[in-house]
Amino acid sequence: MTRQQLVHHIREKESFLCVGLDPDPARIPASYGGDLLRFNQDIIDATRDSCVAYKPNTAFYEALGLEGINLLRDTIAYIGDQHLVIADAKRGDIGNTSRYYARFAFETLGADAITVAPYMGADSVQPFLEYTGKWTILLALTSNPGSHDFQHTPQEDGPPLFAKVMRRAAEWGTPDQLMFVCGATQAERFTELRRHAPQHFFLVPGIGAQGGDLEGVCRHGMTDEAGLLVNSSRGIIYADDPGSAARELQEEMGRLLNKYAPGLFQ
């Protein structure tokens, strides 16, 4: 999916919602009898019109063993091509090896995008960027408490590590193929995050269970074409009515788009 197509979907749906498909066998309703594919399909059917992206986290599928990889591939196939599919895998290795991870995400699974960890630098990220029409989503400032351990520390030359990651990576990939993960729990940093990458899309986890600030993220981080994909996982898939939960977020996002990116609709 191209950036133009993604922006088109955001405009049409008045939504920049990404639904996190992280099924935990211990938490899905008993009525499914453990059929996680049917659970995912029901979530997708209920939320399809409210969101522009789906983000299965590969950890949940791998933990299920062999069947999990089947489930992941079948889930992605079921989503189809009208949504951006993000394999949330946080991969990254030496170039020789990252090539294999890229093949797994983009070819085996059929995802449009993959999340990647920046610690190993340029040659660990490059193999993902080499795929035409696919997206690399690099961790910048994550939503978890541990983000304070290393990401916030100022570097010798001034900016904190997350800013250095964003500035360097912006040299590796264009806004048409590279996004950054920026956690909603750090909404007050979004003005700064936007300064480092004015045009790149941000994938924003951390609203809902992690307590992030959606309005703050939009106030400080929205661009003329939205520039945000905000993810909700547990808040939707374990809601009594996942469709309603997604529509509620969609409505709020429509309001925020009209408030902070009115140019999108002109």
Q: Which residues belong to the active site?
A: 90
Question: What minimum distance in Å lies between the beta carbon of 70 and a second copy?
Answer: 6
Q: Which residues bind to a second copy, rule: CB under 8 A?
A: 22, 57, 59-60, 62-66, 69-70, 73, 88, 90-95, 97-98, 100-101, 103-104, 108, 117-125, 139, 142-151, 153-157, 161, 164-165, 168, 205, 210
Rounded CA-CA distance 235/214 in Å is: 13
Question: What minimum distance in Å lies between the beta carbon of 226 and a second copy?
Answer: 24
Question: What minimum distance in Å lies between the beta carbon of 153 and a second copy?
Answer: 5
Rounded CA-CA distance 27/76 in Å is: 21
Q: Secondary structure of 15-31 in the HEC alphabet?
A: CCEEEECCCCCCCCCHH
Question: Tokens in use for 46?
Answer: 């209920």
69 or 239: whose CB is closer to a second copy? 69
5 or 70: whose CB is closer to a second copy? 70
Residue 73 is which amino acid?
R
Question: What minimum distance in Å lies between the beta carbon of 224 and a second copy?
Answer: 30
Question: Tokens in use for 132?
Answer: 């035409």
Identify which of 239, 251, 230, 242 has the alpha carbon closest to the alpha carbon of residue 86. 230
183 or 221: whose CB is closer to a second copy? 183
Rounded CA-CA distance 85/114 in Å is: 9
User: Three-state SS for 10?
Assistant: helix
Rounded CA-CA distance 71/241 in Å is: 23
69 or 264: whose CB is closer to a second copy? 69
